[in-house]
Amino acid sequence: MNGSCPRAGRLGEYLATRTDPVTLKGFSGGTLTVVNALRRVGALPDGSKVILNSPVVSYPTARSVFPDVDYNQPRGDVFSLLAPSLNPFRFASGFLDLFCGFCVHRGNNL
């Protein structure tokens, strides 16, 4: 996650030109693009929002690039296994999604 992804680079370049508030929303693997773009640009204009649904990055990582991040990792989402919290029950709940065909994960694409 060093910001070398071409999409993250282009998004970061675009965000660097913005002076008005923006809302960034990432789902699943797209959360990596959002986080890497934010690492590249540094800060967003005041009033901006970042929403991550079923992120593959941990909460501390997300907060390190945008302190007021809206982090939506529901219990039972398979990505609880990849972006674990300190709560062992939340981590273990990620296994449930494997047995229902990723139904919780797909349902979080709000």
pTM: predicted TM-score of the whole model, two decimal places: 0.78
Dihedral angle computed from the Cα positions of residues 61, 65, 67 and 71, in that order, rounded to the nearest 10 degrees = -50
β-bridge partners, 71: 52
Please state the domain extents for the chain: 6-107
> Residue 97, Cα to own-chain centre: how many angstroms?
19
Beta bridge partners of 23: 49
pLDDT, tens digit only, all 110 positions of the chain: 444 578 888 999 999 999 999 999 998 888 999 999 999 998 899 999 999 988 888 889 999 999 999 998 877 777 777 766 677 777 777 777 777 777 766 666 65
